[in-house]
Amino acid sequence: MNTTRRQKRVASLIKAEVSQSLIEEIQVSFSGLITVTKVEMTADLKTAHIYLSIYNTDQEDAIFDLLNQKKGFMRKSIASKVKLKYNPMLIFSKDPGPDYETKIDRLLDDIKKNEK
């Protein structure tokens, strides 16, 4: 995906606001660590895909349910702090990066064991 400088700037602003909101609203309710790893904006800046990593908890589904319930509040919070023509729709997803890295490490370990 070819992103423009404006998309990157808006994504950075939204990442900061969502991170702050997560600390104040969501992380208080759950043990563990919730991190915004990446935000990708569509070309028209109307949709923000927010990727999260969740560590040290087995309540990932409950966290995503709560995030989906609080989307409206988070959008309102973003709109009040980030001045944009359109208030972006928020889509929360689990970041596939850590799972992918674990899979690669496991495959490399298997290769090393088979070589010996």
- All structural domains of the chain with their residue ranges: 5-115
pLDDT at residue 108 greater than cutoff 60:
yes
Of the ranges 77-81, 84-88, 89-93, the best mean pLDDT one: 89-93
Closest among 83, 16, 6 to 50, alpha carbons compared: 16
What is the model's pLDDT at position 59? 80
| 5-115: CATH class | alpha beta
Distance CA 74, CA 17 (A): 9
What is the model's pLDDT at position 86? 85
pLDDT at residue 99 greater than cutoff 80:
no
pLDDT tens digits for range 24-73: 877 777 777 888 999 999 999 899 999 998 887 778 888 888 888 888 88
Distance CA 102, CA 28 (A): 28
Chain Cα centroid distance, residue 94? 7
